[in-house]
A = this chain, B = another copy of it.
């Protein structure tokens, strides 16, 4: 066995086909089915210990790797999980993905991440993932009223939502407590003495946009402030540019707010741009609060006060929900809500005078 452990060097040329279970069987003088059993942890007890060992050794020597496509075809499970992301380049998403992948990998699943921006319609992407035989789907892209939800509910593939939810709550989800986050932000500003607080809302067809807006309004009301002193401008997208536009509209109002709560850090950065364009400074003229605590918002100028959401945990939770769904497809829908945390930095201060 002097070549037994030189796996990477056993000289299979560039064109040598990968060894199959049959090759091992032939070399060991046993039937392929025996090899299959010996190599499967779950079935290993069915084969004699010495034979199993011999097979195992030969498999290593040949550098054998199980063909997942064949296994998947036979068993109907691919070990693949599809993930639909709004935009991989959005810095808010990677932590979620990371938490998701870590959990899923630990269970032997690989993830296929598809950026919705680049492809066709969401439905087609879902279908193509299903065609690939994914055992489950994670959607980070759904809008509040989204056809893809109905499409998914009918499908035979387990689906969970992450970060966003659908209006009817028809699919399991892992998301942050948006209302609680807004309350943290508003309470902080009120405690500082602000009385005219504006809101740059996110797209209203997305649950985070709608819920954070609702949470904002509720918090304002609960603080005894009038909604008349709480102007709201909705951004058309979660982008810095859209935040700038909405911010400019807010700052253009007759009674300019002394503080602005943005639905998202990207929007908050856009508000920074708007302030700069208006010749105003933060926090001296206007305080700003973001949402999500994206990487590096502690380094911008001024460091952004924001609501930190548990992104990794959100991903991990989504993974857990999905795995549960895969095991028992008919379990009740679970909607996990994670608690956010206020991170106070330098973009908020007492209002002037």
Interface of A with B (CB < 8 Å)?
8-9, 11-12, 14-18, 65-70, 72-73, 78-80, 88-91, 94-95, 97-98, 101-102, 105, 110-115, 118-119, 123, 127-133, 147, 150-151, 154, 156, 269, 272, 295-297, 299-302, 329-330
Contact = CB atoms under 8 A, between A and B. Distances in A.
Contact of A91 (B14, B147, B296): B296
17 contacts: A9-B150, A11-B154, A12-B156, A14-B156, A14-B330, A18-B130, A65-B131, A68-B133, A79-B132, A88-B97, A91-B94, A101-B114, A110-B128, A269-B296, A296-B300, A299-B299, A300-B300
A15 B272 CA distance: 52
A132 B110 contact: yes
A88 B83 CA distance: 14
A340 B47 CA distance: 60
A199 to B, nearest CB: 21
Given A65-B131, A73-B70, A295 B151 contact: no
Given A69-B69, A114-B110, A272-B299, A151 B89 contact: no
A79 to B, nearest CB: 8
A347 to B, nearest CB: 12
Contacts of A11: 154
Nearest to A133: B69
Nearest to A103: B118
